[in-house]
Amino acid sequence: MKYIIIKKWKMRGAKASYYLEEVTDSIDEANRKLSAHNVLKKDENDSFYIVPFNEDVLVLDKLAS
């Protein structure tokens, strides 16, 4: 299983935007990187999250060309 670190950027009254920050192979590494992102964040509108991601169940409807 992989773990994705997602950045959520949202200003009051605006729609949230989500950005893929990093992908890690272990939850311990993801937690360390999440802590680092939270310490280093420059914008109070940023929030960071860890999302588990299983490549084996990934379903794509189109291949990128």
CB 5 within 8 A of CB 22: yes
In a domain, 38, yes or no: yes
Please report whether residue 62 resides in a domain.
no
Is the per-residue pLDDT at 61 higher than 90?
A: no
Global pTM value: 0.74
Domain that holds residue 6: 2-55
SS3 22: strand
Residue 18 belongs to what H/E stretch? strand 17-24
Residue 45 lies in a domain: yes
Residue-wise pLDDT tens digits, 13-55: 889 999 999 999 999 999 999 999 988 888 888 999 999 988 7
Asked, for residue 6, whether it belongs to a domain, the answer is yes
The number of folded domains in the chain is: 1
Q: How far apart are CA 10 and CA 45, in angstroms?
A: 5
Query: What token pair was written down for 22?
Result: 């990093």
Residue tagged 């409807």 (tokens): 61
* Centroid of chain to Cα 39: 16
